[in-house]
Amino acid sequence: MLQNDYISLLVRKTRIWVGSFVLLFFTNFINAKDIGSSVSIVVIDAGHGGEDPGALGKTYKEKDITLAVALKVGKCIEENYPSVKVIYTRQTDVFVPLHERAEIANKNHADLFISIHANATKNPDVFGMETYAMGLHTNEKNLEVAKKENAAIIFEKDYTLHYEGYDPNSPESFIIFSLMQNTYLAQSLDFAGHVQSNAREIASRNDRGVKQAGFLVLWKTTMPSVLIEIGYITNPSEEKYLASEEGQTQIAAAICKAFGEYKLKIESNSRLAVNSSTQNGNESKNEPIKQSISNDSVVFRVQVFSLPRPLPPDAEQLKKCKSKLGIDRVDEIYFNSYYKYVVGYSSDYNEIQKLAKEIKKHYPEAFVIALKGDTIVPLSTVLKK
Beta partners for residue 370, in sequence order: 300, 377
Is pLDDT at 27 greater than 60 in this prediction? Answer: no
Top-confidence range, 118-132, 141-155, 175-189, 213-227? 118-132
Does a structural domain hold residue 280?
no
In angstroms, the CA 159 to CA 216 distance is 11
Does a structural domain hold residue 283?
no
Q: Average pLDDT in the 327-340 region?
A: 83
Q: Average pLDDT in the 36-48 region?
A: 89
Is pLDDT at 57 greater than 90 in this prediction? Answer: yes
Give the residue from 245, 262, 279 where a domain finishes: 262
Whether residues 55 and 106 share a domain: the answer is: yes
Q: Kindly report which listed range (154-163, 205-214, 339-348) carries the lowest average pLDDT score.
A: 154-163
- What's the pLDDT at 105? 93
Beta partners for residue 375, in sequence order: 372
Q: Average pLDDT in the 354-358 region?
A: 88
Q: Which domain holds residue 325?
A: 288-384
Please state the length of the chain. Answer: 385
> Tell me: the pLDDT tens digits for 241-288?
999 999 999 999 999 999 988 988 887 765 544 444 444 444 333 333
What predicted TM-score, i.e. pTM, was given to this entire model? Answer: 0.61
Is pLDDT at 121 greater than 90 in this prediction? Answer: yes
pLDDT band for position 153 (50/70/90)? low
In angstroms, the CA 253 to CA 348 distance is 28
Task: Give the CATH number, domain containing residue 351.
Answer: 3.30.70.1070
- What's the pLDDT at 277? 43
Contact status, residue 166 vs residue 174, Cβ threshold 8 Å: no
- What's the pLDDT at 41? 95
Does a structural domain hold residue 65?
yes
372 against 173, higher pLDDT = 372
Amino acid identity for residue 290 in this structure: K
Task: Give the CATH number, domain containing residue 224.
Answer: 3.40.630.40
Does a structural domain hold residue 83?
yes
In angstroms, the CA 16 to CA 294 distance is 48
55 against 327, higher pLDDT = 55
How buried is residue 270: exposed, middle or buried, by Cβ count under 10 Å (0-12/13-18/19+)? middle
Beta strands of 172-256 (E only): which ranges?
207-213, 225-232
Is pLDDT at 138 greater than 70 in this prediction? Answer: no
Q: Kindly report which listed range (70-74, 161-165, 317-321, 378-382) carries the lowest average pLDDT score.
A: 161-165
Whether residues 84 and 230 share a domain: the answer is: yes
159 against 319, higher pLDDT = 319
- What's the pLDDT at 347? 78
Q: Average pLDDT in the 7-21 region?
A: 41
- What's the pLDDT at 73? 96
Whether residues 224 and 370 share a domain: the answer is: no
Whether residues 28 and 173 share a domain: the answer is: yes
- H helices present in 108-139, as ranges: none
Give the residue from 262, 296, 311 where a domain finishes: 262
- What's the pLDDT at 284? 34
Beta partners for residue 226, in sequence order: 114
Whether residues 116 and 172 share a domain: the answer is: yes
Does a structural domain hold residue 277?
no
pLDDT band for position 94 (50/70/90)? very high
- What's the pLDDT at 276? 43
Give the residue from 262, 279, 304 where a domain finishes: 262
Whether residues 137 and 175 share a domain: the answer is: yes
Number of structural domains, the chain?
A: 2
Whether residues 142 and 29 share a domain: the answer is: yes
Does a structural domain hold residue 276?
no
**Over the chain, what is the mean pLDDT?**
77
Beta strands of 251-377 (E only): which ranges?
292-293, 298-307, 331-335, 338-346, 367-372, 375-377
Does a structural domain hold residue 345?
yes
- What's the pLDDT at 352? 87
In angstroms, the CA 92 to CA 95 distance is 9
In angstroms, the CA 254 to CA 259 distance is 9
Is pLDDT at 292 greater than 60 in this prediction? Answer: no
- What's the pLDDT at 37? 66
